[in-house]
Amino acid sequence: MAVDQAQNKNWIETIIRDFCASSANSLENGTCEPAWDAPQFAYARGDDLLFDQLKNDIGEFYWTPAEAYLLAYPDEEIAPSSLAVICYILPQTKATRVDQAIETEFPAERWARSRFHGEEFNCALRLHLAERLTQAGYPALAPERLPGFDYRQSERFGIASNWSERHTAWVAGLGTFGLSDGLITRVGKAVRFGSVVVKMNLAATPRSYEGHQDWCLWYAKGSCGACMKRCPVDAITDEGHDKPKCFDYIRNVTTPYVRDHYGTGATPCGLCQVKIPCESRSPL
């Protein structure tokens, strides 16, 4: 059984690596430059009780892996224990991080391109992985690509989606949250995540932390706060991340800026993700 699981993980990681090595992983800046560095992987069990805890904390609208599965395969009966969640990290490249570190008000062009073309690639990767698994007899789905994926108002946390890729990554052992709200991973915070739910028996990746903010210097040692100084609109304070302020800046200032200057779209900013100790590693 353990050999089968290792083989299946190897196969899954090869699918992701091969897709990342293809020309689809592109900043689309005319130089064949990839949007993302080498991917990282982790796995969670579909019956991990933390998924129920998240639903409890965030709101009734939040999906567990089994609920997301049933939206894609409504005629099946499914036990949460027969599901696994595949999580991956797409790290920003060094060139993108270096450019972004110079900026103080608007995202660098490479960052804007990774937010736009790189996330288009991420959407294609989620679907590609789910399709390959399903074709091989392991029904799978990407919750972020389901028609019902949406934002709601959480009583406790304000604007909240019904599937959170960084909370999923936290359950899978990939990292813990920082003062800015970003998830700090072993390859840092300047990353994007993806996740796919699959009917397959895969062992969970061990979590090497207890608290959900263990890897942030602010919470662990009472020091740092570098991300606060990086935010041009003071949306990060010692009380954490002011989501409406951040949302407002991104929607009304940076989004039109990148459209006019770089011809890209989507909602980029991420100044708080670089020029900080947790940019490309866990600082602890």
Residues that bind ligand SF4 (CB under 6 A): 178-180, 216-218, 224-227, 230-231, 233, 235-236, 241, 246, 249, 269-272, 276-278, 283
Residues 48 and 128: their CA atoms lie apart, in Å, by: 25
> Which tokens belong to 54?
């998240």
Provide DSSP, 106-124: S--HHHHHIIIIIHHHHHH
Q: Which of residues 198-217 bind ligand B12 (CB under 6 A)?
A: 212
Residues 243 and 241: their CA atoms lie apart, in Å, by: 6
User: What is the greatest pairwise CA distance in the chain?
Assistant: 54
8 Å CB contact between 228 and 222: no
Nearer to ligand B12, 83 or 174 (CB): 174
Nearer to ligand SF4, 75 or 238 (CB): 238
Instruction: Report the residue from 125, 272, 276, 278 that binds ligand B12 according to the rule CB under 6 A.
Output: 272
Q: Which helix (H) or strand (E) holds 42?
A: strand 40-45
> Which tokens belong to 160?
């909240």
Instruction: Report the residue from 84, 142, 217, 269 that binds ligand B12 according to the rule CB under 6 A.
Output: 269
> Which tokens belong to 24?
């689809």
> How far is the CA of 125 from the CAs of 15, 68, 194, 207, 243, in angstroms?
9, 18, 8, 25, 28
Exposed / middle / buried, residue 154 (Cβ in 10 Å: 0-12, 13-18, 19+) = middle
β partners of residue 41? 88
| Minimum gap (Å) between residue 194 Cβ and ligand B12 | 6
Residues 20 and 56: their CA atoms lie apart, in Å, by: 35
Determine if 157 is a binding residue for ligand B12 (CB under 6 A): yes
| Minimum gap (Å) between residue 159 Cβ and ligand B12 | 5
Nearer to ligand B12, 163 or 262 (CB): 163
Instruction: Report the residue from 16, 58, 125, 196 that binds ligand B12 according to the rule CB under 6 A.
Output: 58
The residue sitting closest to ligand SF4, measured at its beta carbon, is 178
State the binding partner of 87 from ligand SF4, ligand B12, none, CB within 5 to 8 A by kind.
none
| Minimum gap (Å) between residue 10 Cβ and ligand B12 | 24
Nearer to ligand B12, 137 or 147 (CB): 147
State the binding partner of 283 from ligand B12, ligand SF4, none, CB within 5 to 8 A by kind.
ligand SF4
Interface with ligand B12 (CB under 6 A): 57-58, 115, 144, 151, 154, 157, 159-161, 163-167, 170, 177, 180-183, 189, 191-193, 212, 241, 243, 246-247, 250, 267-270, 272-273
